[in-house]
Amino acid sequence: MLNGKSILITGGTGSFGKHFIRTILDDYTPERVIILSRDEWKQHEMRCSGLNHPSLRYFIGNVRDRDRLYRAFDGVDIVIHAAALKQVPTAEYNPFEAIKTNILGAENVIDAAIDRDVQKVIGLSSDKASSPINLYGATKLCADKLFIAANSYTGEHPTKFSVVRYGNVVGSRGSVIPFFQEKARSKVLPITDTRMTRFWITLDQAVELVLFALNAMTGGEIFIPKIPSMKIVDLAKAVCPDCYTTTVGIRPGEKLHEILVPVDEAKYTRELENCYIIYPHWKRKLLGKPCPDRFQYSSDTNTEWLTTEDLRGMLNGQTGKCLGW
């Protein structure tokens, strides 16, 4: 699927981007892998970490810069759009900056991909895009809508757009796990609410999902993996069993539980063995079986749960079970 292809990853110096690049260089023989990001120091760190394969191209640029994207996408077959402002408090305090990157940046990616005849584009979304209550989630929902709608105005161009939506990534930058690991030195972990639950996915599984979506997509789908949930109190125990916890209250823009498939999208959702796919209303050829009316895929009513032992295994380098594709 990726052999001989030119692949570009926006935000390629992030946790997902680095893991995705290592995976495809190990398993495929792409012609070019282009890392587009705005931080030259992070690109330098990637080179020094061993990511200096002959097929790699390090490209300084910002998804806000439409002209730069047109240059970067020239001759590219596949784009993985991972660039975003992702911190909820940062987006709440800097709303226009989040909109410029997450929404207007997505529009620039779409226009450049269509006009440069990119074959496939995958946008990385978030569980916070489903029934959003904070600005970050709202910007990601807008980006999702833009990507799905983009399939309707490609004209004679071959470009197809789809989205993958998943939960918290174990060990990624900015997640609660590194925060807890840092706080563990004081032996006190701040818990927002003892009832809180979250979806969790490993980087291996996130990459696996994107590769599956690239193979299965025909344009317009939102791919959602079946992944386990975990209670925040169990997460704290897994990170530091000897620590005390203190309840500090839910922060502005934070949910008690996360949702990957909201009730209102159930009628457009199909279930496969290892994932759900939300289809646009205009799609006719559908995979899987329809979900029941009023279905909702929420972290608190999930049927699969991580134990503290499961999470410790992931943190110790065990990647967890694959999604089966």
User: To which residue do tokens 């496939």 refer?
Assistant: 120
Q: Is 128 a catalytic residue?
A: yes
Which residue in 5, 120, 128, 255 is the catalytic one?
A: 128
- Cα-to-chain-centroid distance, residue 57: 22
Handedness of CA 92, 137, 84, 87 (dihedral sign): positive
- Show the tokens assigned to 35: 């890392």
Q: Find the helix packing angle between 203-216 and 15-27, rounded to 10°.
A: 60
Between CA 302 and CA 226 the distance in angstroms is 9
Cα maximum dimension of the chain: 61
- CB-CB contact of 112 with 73 (8 Å): yes
Rounded CA separation 77/160 (Å): 11
Residues annotated as part of the active site: 128
